Every structure is written in structure tokens, then in C-alpha cells.
Amino acid sequence: MCIPIPLPYAVLVDTPYGSEPLAIWERPEPQPRAAPVPLSRAKIVAVAIRLADEQGLDGLSIRKIAKELGVGPMRLYDYVTNRAELLDLMVDAVYGQIADASGQTAQTGGRAAETGGQRVEAGGRAAETGGQRVETGGRAAGAGRRRVAGAGEQAEWRATVLAVARATRVAALEHEWFADLLGGRPHLGPHTLAVGELNAAALSQAPAVHDIDDLQRTIGALNSFLIGALRREVTERRTARTTGTDVPAFQAGLGPYLTRMFTTGRYPTIARLVVDGSHLDAEETFNRTLTTVLDGITGAPA
């Protein structure tokens, strides 16, 4: 039984552990009311993302969002109870872009899931999440009996993982604040879960993944690479903007120093990396390293 309570807007649901507030994903939008400016969570999130893109998370506040929307700040608390919920909605909106760019009609089992106007095949029964319908049940990827994938399926799992990883990079470069929010506690919005299901189901078909423990380790390794790579690239972009010095200029400035250090003979391997190694741009570096990670998951180079 759901019991509405006064502001800040919340709904409680009875559980075996007592009454708990519903997550933002399950909470219905407030009833529309006569007002000069109609609001919705989608409208609030769109403005919040634009402000974060322009000013970063430090420049984001309920007051600024309300001003952009032409409403009083208290009206926004009808839709989100705090900043954490707002950030969760923003992150999930970006994952919606990732799902779309990854090819959200890819099959991962079961019937299609409708996620806020986007179609993601994720299998199982439908979960109603605050006006969005997401397929979250069905088989657990790699969690039971494992069927040996054919050659075509092996190529398909790799293509899916590559598409998700590359779409995640594109989204993080478009919304740099997104990278700042990765790596902490997991995000569990419907679009995020759909992308996670797509990735996990694909990885469960990798040749070296035989059971749920293998799948957990594989997902952990891939996520660690993605988070580290995205944060590194975003940090470099920010540094170049604030200092006016890009990577080649930074390296050229340190060239004489490194030459003196390398001539000591104490750093032969580092010297080889700097002098003989390939100096790739950020996208090439990301793609080559991602390929190396997937080769490790495969158990042999592609």
C-alpha cells in the first residue's frame, strides 16, 4: 500500500523491513496543476543537464534550475526531493543516450522493453518504474546453465560490448560531469539497468566466461577500464582548457628534462616507451586498449 505524504514529495511502500520510500524511478509524477509554467521531471532534467554541461556540477543548483524554468525553487521539490535524486535522473538520462547509440533493439532475451520512449530488448517481466516500463526479469545472464555460443554469437557479443563502450565514451565527452559520477555506488535507473543488461548478456557469451563468478569479474574488469579511461580523458580535456596547453605542448616542454633523465640509463623501459612507442590520439588509445581488454576476456586475440 502506498501512502502519499506532504512535501518533500515522497511515497512510502510497505516492505518486510517496514515502510520504505519509493525510489525516484517508481514514484509517480505529481498531479498536474494549473500554473503558468507546466513542469515534469523530464523538463527539469533537461535543464539540469544543460547547466551541468555549461558550468559543471559545481555550478548546478535547484535555485539555478528553477530560475531557468521560470518557477520558484520549492516547486521543483514536488518532483525531486534532493540533489542526489536529481543527479540520479541526470545520469539515467545519459544512459538513455548510450542505449540509443548502442543500438537499443539488440536482442538480450525475451520481449522488448519500453523505456521512456526507447526500446531495449532485455527479457523477462515488465517492471513499472514511474511511467517508464522496463523489462528487468527473465534469465540471469550467465547465471545458470551455460549454452556454448556459436561463432556468429561470439562475434555478436564482442560487437555489442564495443558499441556500448564507445557510446559511453561519446556520452562522457559530451557531458563531462557524467564521468565524475561514475565509479561510486551503482546507478540503478531504468535506462542504466537496460544498458547494464545489454552489456552483461553480451559478456556472458564471451568464451572465457563460464559461470556467474566469471561474469562478475569480467564486468568488473571492463568497468574499471572504462571509468579510468573516461576520467583520464576528461581530466586532460579540462586541464588543456584551463592551462591553454595541450598534450603535445606539455610533452615538448618537458622534452629536455626527460632527455637528461633518460641519458642516466636508470629508466631504460620508460625511455623506450617515450622514444619508440606509438603516440596515439585519445580515441585511438581508447579503442586499442579496449581491444586489449576484450582480447583478455576472449582468452585469445581476435
Per-chain mean pLDDT for the chain: 79
Give pLDDT, residue 173. 97
Model confidence at 150, pLDDT cuts 50, 70, 90, reads low
* Percentage of residues of the chain with pLDDT beyond 70: 75
Report the CATH number at residue 2: 1.10.10.60
The residue with greater pLDDT, 188 or 145, is 188
Is 182 among the domain residues? no
Is 189 among the domain residues? no
Cβ contacts of 55 within 8 Å, gap of 6 or more:
none
Digit-coded pLDDT (tens) for 188-246: 999 999 999 999 999 999 988 999 999 999 999 999 999 999 999 999 999 999 898 88
Specify the number of domains making up the chain: 1
Check whether 17 has a pLDDT greater than 50: no
Where in the sequence is the domain holding 22, given as residue range(s)? 1-81
Instruction: Locate 265 and state its grid cell.
Output: 640509463
Digit-coded pLDDT (tens) for 69-87: 999 999 999 999 999 999 9
Is 61 among the domain residues? yes
Is 57 among the domain residues? yes
For residue 8, whether the previous peptide bond is cis, meaning omega lies within 30 degrees of 0, is yes
Is 29 among the domain residues? yes
* Percentage of residues of the chain with pLDDT beyond 90: 56
3-class DSSP assignment, residue 112: strand
CA distance 236 to 222: 21
Give pLDDT, residue 178. 97
Containing 3, the helix (H) or strand (E) segment is: strand 2-5
59-69 mean pLDDT? 94
Is 255 among the domain residues? no
Check whether 12 has a pLDDT greater than 70: no
Give pLDDT, residue 19. 53
Is 62 among the domain residues? yes
Is 44 among the domain residues? yes
CA distance 142 to 206: 10
